[in-house]
Chains A and B, each alone.
Chain A
Amino acid sequence: MERMSRFSAVPSGDDTRSSPEDASGPVALARLLQQSAGGDESAFAELYDLTSARVFGLVRRVVRDPAQSEEVAQEVFIDIWRHCTRFDADKGSALAWMLTIAHRKSVDRVRSAEASRGRDETYGHANIDVSHDSTSESVVQRLDAERVHEALSTLTEAQRGALELAYLGGYTHTEVATMLGVPLGTAKTRIRDGLIRLRETLGVTT
């Protein structure tokens, strides 16, 4: 979908499809964030309108539960408001910054929910059915962002699997290792190498 390329979290650099000057492009988002940092609530409303589907989609994928997802997404936007004075456009795009917040909050929520839930599930922890969790709706299948899709296809199956469990599943690398039945060091390396390859293929610069 066309909107996607403009929503690219990657600094536009060599991505000619994306026009950073667009009303919803990276420059516009950064500007809205900076205006919000000055207390401009209407700029923040505009920012919300341009990014809420992206933020909510990520939160929902990690948290899963619709009601909790809404709560988390609300916390995310409030936090973005609170912290937008700290946004530094030199360190990455506004959208990447916002999604970083969204991801962290989502992960914190699922981990704490797990910790406070009854421990019955713990018995089966080592046997969580990985295919049930993510293969059926693998990120690759759902990606319509062609560029990212292509980048992901350069990862090995093993790297992609580990990254999906960690990033979209919200599991710790220790859990990822257990779920995949590999040593912790292997899981760690797959996640890192996968990200490095993704970074290089996407031409991320910060």
Chain B
Amino acid sequence: MTDEIHELSGAYAVDALDDVERARFERHLTDCSTCRDEVESLSVAAVELSSGLEMAPPASLRASVLSGITSVRQLPPLTEPAGRTGTATDTLGARDCDIVDSPAPTDRPTDAASSPVVPAAPLAGPTDDHAAETGGTVSSISEGSRRSRARQGTRSPWRGLIAAGAAAVLAIGTFTIVRSLTGEKAPQSASQQVLEAPDATKTVHSFANGGSATIVRSASLGKAVLVGTDLPSPGAGKTYQLWLQSKDSAFTSAGIVPGAGNQVVVLGGDAATAAGAGITIEPTGGSKQPTTEPLALFPFSA
């Protein structure tokens, strides 16, 4: 296992891991100084691949950057790895609430119990969406990204799913910190938005021989996300395909799951009007319509 995860350093250094793999690898990095060193040196090597691509940006960019920074607060320096309220132990403890390894927390108490040091309020002022990082807690990072959409009262119980990995990596080197920070706040992470949406609901399906598929759907965002955990191999020449089901039970392809194992995939199509989602095994490349019995159907609440 360790050998295998060690092999991910290269893919991590070129940002070629998906959300789940990234989170898992970042957790590994907190324990493995060999990988940390390797990631840093490989990251430096990787950026060389961008030499020769120079292109002058439009002049307007300069103006928008320079006016933009005047309204952006700089983060405090990271003088000690463990920061103010988070200790190294706290940070490592955050691993436990990552449902990639402990699938599907079912209710809020579970979530709360797994991150006991999380302060109820953001650690800093409401304008600092990175307030979380010196605190190094899962929920405070989510707090920041939620804030950018809207302040909502309800907390999504699986909000730590992806952020956990980002939080766990706080104590480590510059490059990895950069990765985790720039990744977690990205408003463009569609899957994270769905997972953290206040109205997100989820349906879990466990496969008989291990692994599970969870569909998280936010009606307000009109999107659904598959979180596959240890998905068994679909077989040679086959792939998992996702579907949205209309009210009259017609299936529309919502995309292909790029592999087995741990996967986070945003379903294509409008999950607000759909009545449910499904997953089937199809020939590689996908099918226009399901050609096999669905492995699981995930009805959406109205």
Beta-carbon contact of B57 and A99 below 8 Å: no
- Kindly list the 6 A-B residue pairs having the minimum CB-CB distance in the complex, ordered from nearest: A192-B10, A119-B268, A57-B53, A143-B52, A56-B57, A115-B266
Beta-carbon contact of B181 and A171 below 8 Å: no
Instruction: Provide the bound-state CA to CA distance between A174 and B179, in Å.
Output: 20
Beta-carbon contact of A70 and B57 below 8 Å: yes
Please name all residues of chain A whose beta carbon is closer than 8 Å to the beta carbon of B77 when the two chains form the complex.
37, 85-86
Interface centre among A112, A123, A195 (most CB of B within 10 A): A195
Interface centre among B13, B52, B188, B286 (most CB of A within 10 A): B52
Instruction: Provide the bound-state CA to CA distance between A150 and B116, in Å.
Output: 53
Beta-carbon contact of A164 and B253 below 8 Å: no
Beta-carbon contact of A83 and B44 below 8 Å: no
A interface residues with partner B (beta carbon < 8 Å): 4, 7, 9-10, 37, 39, 41, 44-45, 48-49, 52-58, 60-61, 70, 73-74, 77-79, 81-88, 91-93, 95-97, 99-101, 103-105, 107-109, 111-113, 115-119, 122-127, 139, 142-145, 148-149, 151-152, 163-164, 166-168, 170-176, 178, 184-185, 188-189, 191-196, 198-199, 202, 204-206
Known pairs A56-B61, A57-B54, A125-B286; A107 contacts B15 (CB<8 A): yes
- 16 A–B pairs (Cβ distance < 8 Å), ordered by A: A53-B54, A57-B55, A74-B61, A77-B68, A83-B74, A83-B75, A83-B182, A85-B75, A95-B47, A104-B179, A116-B190, A163-B14, A173-B17, A178-B258, A188-B11, A191-B10
The interface residues of chain A, by DSSP majority, are classed as helix
Beta-carbon contact of B253 and A78 below 8 Å: no
Beyond the given A60-B55, A82-B73, A172-B16, please list 17 additional residue pairs across the A-B interface where CB-CB is below 8 A.
A7-B51, A9-B48, A79-B181, A81-B69, A81-B72, A82-B72, A85-B75, A86-B178, A92-B175, A103-B15, A119-B253, A123-B253, A149-B52, A166-B14, A172-B258, A196-B10, A206-B37
Among candidates A79, A103, A139, residue contacting B52 with C-beta atoms closer than 8 Å: A139
Instruction: Provide the bound-state CA to CA distance between A103 and B52, in Å.
Output: 15
Please name all residues of chain B whose beta carbon is closer than 8 Å to the beta carbon of A192 when the two chains form the complex.
7, 9-11, 42
Please name all residues of chain B whose beta carbon is closer than 8 Å to the beta carbon of A58 when the two chains form the complex.
50, 53
Beta-carbon contact of A115 and B65 below 8 Å: no
Beta-carbon contact of B51 and A148 below 8 Å: yes
Beta-carbon contact of A39 and B253 below 8 Å: no
Known pairs A85-B77, A172-B18; A70 contacts B60 (CB<8 A): yes
Please name all residues of chain A whose beta carbon is closer than 8 Å to the beta carbon of B78 when the two chains form the complex.
85-86
Beta-carbon contact of B179 and A196 below 8 Å: no
User: Residue B8 at the A interface, CB < 8 A?
Assistant: yes
B interface residues with partner A (beta carbon < 8 Å): 7-11, 13-18, 21, 37, 40-58, 60-62, 64-66, 68-70, 72-78, 130, 173-175, 177-179, 181-183, 186, 188-191, 223, 239, 253-256, 258-259, 265-266, 268-269, 284-286, 288
Known pairs A73-B61, A105-B182, A194-B10; A119 contacts B269 (CB<8 A): yes
Known pairs A52-B62, A104-B179; A123 contacts B286 (CB<8 A): yes
Nearest-Cβ distance from residue B203 to partner chain A, whole angstroms: 20
Among candidates A60, A84, A103, A124, residue contacting B47 with C-beta atoms closer than 8 Å: A103
For A200, give the chain B residue with the smallest CB separation.
Answer: B45
Beta-carbon contact of A53 and B46 below 8 Å: no
Beta-carbon contact of B47 and A96 below 8 Å: yes
For A197, give the chain B residue with the smallest CB separation.
Answer: B45
Among candidates B42, B177, B268, residue contacting A199 with C-beta atoms closer than 8 Å: B42
Interface centre among B16, B21, B64 (most CB of A within 10 A): B16
Known pairs A103-B15, A122-B256, A172-B18; A45 contacts B66 (CB<8 A): yes
Beta-carbon contact of B52 and A104 below 8 Å: no
Beta-carbon contact of A119 and B255 below 8 Å: yes
Known pairs A85-B76, A115-B191, A166-B14; A202 contacts B48 (CB<8 A): yes
